[in-house]
Amino acid sequence: MDPVTQGMFTWENFFLILFGLFLLGTILLDVAMVVSLVRVGDERRQLIVWKAGAFTLLITVLTQVFDVVEAVVLAKKLQSNPFIDLSVTAVTYFVVLLVLKKRYGDFERGK
């Protein structure tokens, strides 16, 4: 068997590719989150974006509080991973944004 192709499809490679796709997806979600916050729209659109932003802030703050409480209870050093924080923030924002768009009606179509 050719040594170059040997071991090409291992579980490590599969999970590395999966992680790369997740990383690319979260980068795209972060960019899209900033773009959706900056875009101007009507009052309904602003309400949806404000509610999604407020709920995302609540989730982000609660996860930080849980991290601090866990560190105090377990008497360990406080560790925060910015990649995980940004990923959770971006995913939370877009899930809430999709739910609110469905509830209050979609944004202007085609814009």
With a threshold of 0.75, does the pTM exceed it? no
Three-state secondary structure string covering 38-80: HCCCCHHHHHHHHHHHHHHHHHHHHHHHHHHHHHHHCCCCCCC
Q: Cα(83)–Cα(73) distance, rounded to whole angstroms?
A: 24
Rounded-to-integer distance, Cα 62 and Cα 93, Å: 14
Which has more confidence, 41 or 32? 32
Higher pLDDT, 25 or 9: 25
Of the given ranges (3-7, 40-44, 45-49, 81-85), which has the lowest mean pLDDT? 3-7
| Confidence at residue 9, expressed as pLDDT on a 0 to 100 scale | 74
| Among the listed residues 49, 54, 19, 51, the one whose alpha carbon sits nearest the alpha carbon of residue 33 | 49
What's the pLDDT tens digit per position in 34-79?
Answer: 887 787 778 888 888 889 989 999 999 998 888 888 888 998 888 8
Q: Is 50 exceeded by the pLDDT of residue 111?
A: no
